[in-house]
Amino acid sequence: MNKRLQMLERMIEQGSQDPFVRYARALELRSLGELERALAGLEEVRTLHPDYVPTYLMAGQIAGQLARNTEARSWLEQGIAVATTARDEHARSELQSALDDLPA
């Protein structure tokens, strides 16, 4: 396990409630090629912090990498709704572009 991942795991074990810590752990797992664990980590972020907008684009991308396009579509569509509610037009636009680029 690399140092960044160890640090993030330790922060979570110590009770960090910051959504970015779990999100960063998922991104670290993705960078290590551990896509299933990364996606599970993003599911955890969504469960604990459903309004954390960045979760949805990353999860949609990872599900797409795993060729789980139906799941990717669901993540991206949910993300669009969350970003719209948050009035985050930039994120909404990125999510929509990812959705538009997703194979049918």
Structure token pair of residue 48: 């604990």
Give the pLDDT score at 55: 98
Give the pLDDT score at 104: 76
Instruction: Enumerate residue ranges in the chain where pLDDT < 70.
Output: 1
**Tens digit of each residue's pLDDT (9 = 90 or more) over 70-94:** 999 999 999 999 999 999 999 999 9
Query: Class for domain 3-101, per CATH?
Result: mainly alpha
- Of 98, 12, 1, nearest to 53 by C-alpha is 98
Sole residue written with tokens 């960044």: 4
- Of 51, 104, 45, nearest to 59 by C-alpha is 45
Give the domain ranges of the chain: 3-101
Residues 6+ apart with CB under 8 A from 27: 38, 58
pTM greater than the 0.85 cutoff: yes
